[in-house]
Structure 1
Amino acid sequence: MGLKAELREKTGSGASTRDRNEGRLPAVIYGHGAEPQNVTLDSLEVGLLIRDQGENAVFDVDVNGKKQQVLLKGIQRSAIKRQLLSVDLQTITAGEKITVNIPVVLEDGPSRTLGTVEQHLSEVEVKTTPNNIPSEFVLDTSSLEIGDNLTVADLTIPADIEVVTDPTYTVASVAAPQAEEEEETTAGDEVSEPEVIGEADEEE
């Protein structure tokens, strides 16, 4: 999939807002020592690209007739509506190894009866070529018992992908369910009044 970009004549927050109101998404193209280019892309096309190829999408971008292959390196969204605000595009070449973050998905299965699976790491950093970027890594936690854990080293990684994240980092573990604390109350307990000192009745 290829996208056509238009060079931006003006930058800044005001210009970016105008671009988005017109259906254009601000973007920066950089890499290989070249001067960064400020451009805009069709917002709808970028949204469809992310939906279909994920947040590590590799695609061609056309700027004034010059095509170059880029990696979707950064995505900025609004905090509440998650609207696309801007994207960063890194230029790449065929066969070049690039660093990307790959999501980790846990599969626990329906058989778990004890413990709660906790995910400590949601993605791992890897080095690979643009045509070899996996969409996700799946980790099976169904055989884990309470107190067990799985690390980055337990992920199934293809031989041609280099893992950058420390292999000893914990990805998932199983913890015992937290028992609800019950307040102990004793029926009939009376609150004793404090003793007043120094106010004894005087005898006449």
Structure 2
Amino acid sequence: MNTLKAEKRNLETKAKRLRREGFVTGNLFGKKIEKSIPLKLDKKEVDKLLKEHGKGSQIMLDVEGEKYDVLLKDIQFNALKGQVDEIDFQALVKGEKVHSVAEVVLLHHDKVTTGVLQQLLHEIEYKAAPDALVEKVEVDVSNMRVGDTIFVKDLAIASDKDVDLHTDLETVVATVYEVHNASAEEPEESADAAE
């Protein structure tokens, strides 16, 4: 499990100033933490971590020598500056279920040669204990053809007894549709938009 180092943040120092100095601000909260702990984290370390992990990932957070098993709960990205401004971490309690998200990753989409593959769901909401957390749900789409659809109920996570899904089982994850021949009930512009 990856470890990220953090320091407790003095709230007298403004977040804007810390960001200018190369830090990302954050908060650590949890059931066994009385008040949330304001943090500052090295921007380079955060960027390195986020290359492999995203929202819903489980990591180890080292706050001045004290280690916490945490969930990356929320990541605030500043699109204008192209940087992460703030991260919230939830300290996990063994055996206690937490609400999280798993990223949906389509594998072998280059093998779909008939029609156009469209991914309609990018993350799945669920609740699970720390030892059952799922960071990514990988979906092999190599055998999909025109007209094929994958639903949440078709994924391995749907049959995992340790995971309580919050995303509807009938939600479409991915589908393959035909491009050029618009059917009679489809307006022509939808075929044009798909090209």
Superposition TM-score, scaled by structure 1 size: 0.74
- The verdict on how the C-alpha distance between 1:2 and 1:115 changes in structure 2, with shifts beyond 3 A counting, is closer
User: How many Å apart are 1:67 and its aligned residue?
Assistant: 4.2
Please state if 1:30 is matched with 2:32.
no
Q: CA RMSD in A?
A: 2.5
Moved over 4 A (4+): 108-111
Aligned-residue identity in percent:
31
Indicate the SS of the match to 2:179: coil
Q: Is the 8 A contact 1:69 1:91 kept in 2?
A: yes
- The verdict on how the C-alpha distance between 1:23 and 1:119 changes in structure 2, with shifts beyond 3 A counting, is same
Please state if 1:83 is matched with 2:83.
yes
Distance 2:4 2:85 in 1: 20
Distance 1:81 1:149 in 2: 38
Larger radius of gyration: 1
What's the counterpart of residue 60 of structure 2?
Answer: 59
Distance 1:39 1:90 in 2: 13
Indicate the SS of the match to 1:113: coil
User: How many Å apart are 1:58 and its aligned residue?
Assistant: 2.2
What one-letter code is carried by the residue in structure 2 that aligns with 1:62? V
Segments of 5+ residues of structure 2 without an aligned counterpart are: 183-187, 189-195
What's the counterpart of residue 7 of structure 1?
Answer: 9
Distance 1:178 1:156 in 2: 33
Q: Is the 8 A contact 1:50 1:57 kept in 2?
A: no
Q: Is the 8 A contact 1:151 1:167 kept in 2?
A: yes
Per-residue deviation, residues 84-143 of structure 1 (Å, max 9, x unmatched): 111111122223222211111123455433211111111101222324333311222333
Please state if 1:145 is matched with 2:145.
yes
- The verdict on how the C-alpha distance between 1:119 and 1:46 changes in structure 2, with shifts beyond 3 A counting, is same
Q: Is the 8 A contact 1:61 1:70 kept in 2?
A: no
- The verdict on how the C-alpha distance between 1:111 and 1:26 changes in structure 2, with shifts beyond 3 A counting, is closer
Distance 2:6 2:107 in 1: 39
- The verdict on how the C-alpha distance between 1:143 and 1:36 changes in structure 2, with shifts beyond 3 A counting, is same
What's the counterpart of residue 17 of structure 1?
Answer: 16
Indicate the SS of the match to 1:39: strand
Equivalences for residues 49-128 of structure 1 within 5 A? 49-55=49-55, 56-62=57-63, 66-128=66-128
Distance 2:9 2:169 in 1: 42
Segments of 5+ residues of structure 1 without an aligned counterpart are: 182-204
Return the structure number with greater helix share.
2
